[in-house]
Structure formats: C-alpha cells, structure tokens
Amino acid sequence: SSRIQEHKEGIYKESFTHRYNLHFLIYFEFSPSIEEAIEREKQIKKFSRKKKELLINTINPLWNDLTVDLEYID
C-alpha cells in the first residue's frame, strides 16, 4: 500500500515508525471502519507485551515482514 511505503521511506517525521526506526510489519488486522480500527488499536495498546506477542504469533509465528503480502491486496 502507498501508506506503508510512505512509512518505510520516513515521510512522516513525527510518526511512531519514524521515531523508533521501525521498518517491518509483523501484525495487522482489517476493520470495517476507521472508528472500529481506532478502538481496536486502543485495546491492543493496553495489552501486556506477552499478550501482544501471542497475538502476533497467531498469524505470524516467524515474525516475517508482512508488507510483501499486502502489496497484492491494494
């Protein structure tokens, strides 16, 4: 997706991904609306690290960069 590419290129200088030099997408979810996506993000942010790792491992046990898979979804 173009948004993922923008993050990888560091266009958003104030973003979390730029600040922490993150370049890999290891987990994502689709949501029917932006409101539901924001609510889900807030839920996940409250999870412990262990719970977040379990969530990642359910869909990506090898922690591969999933951006390659998303290129075919756009």
In 3D space, the residue among 20, 68, 26 whose CA is nearest the CA of residue 44 turns out to be 26
pTM for the full model? 0.74
Q: In 3-state terms, what secondary structure has residue 62?
A: coil
> What angle is formed at CA 35 by the lines to CA 13 and CA 63, rounded to 5 degrees?
60
What pLDDT does residue 7 have?
77
Residue 73: pLDDT band (50, 70, 90) is: low
Q: How high is the pLDDT of residue 71?
A: 62
Give per-residue pLDDT as tens, 10-63. 888 888 888 988 888 899 999 999 999 999 999 999 999 999 999 999 999 999
- pLDDT value for 31: 94
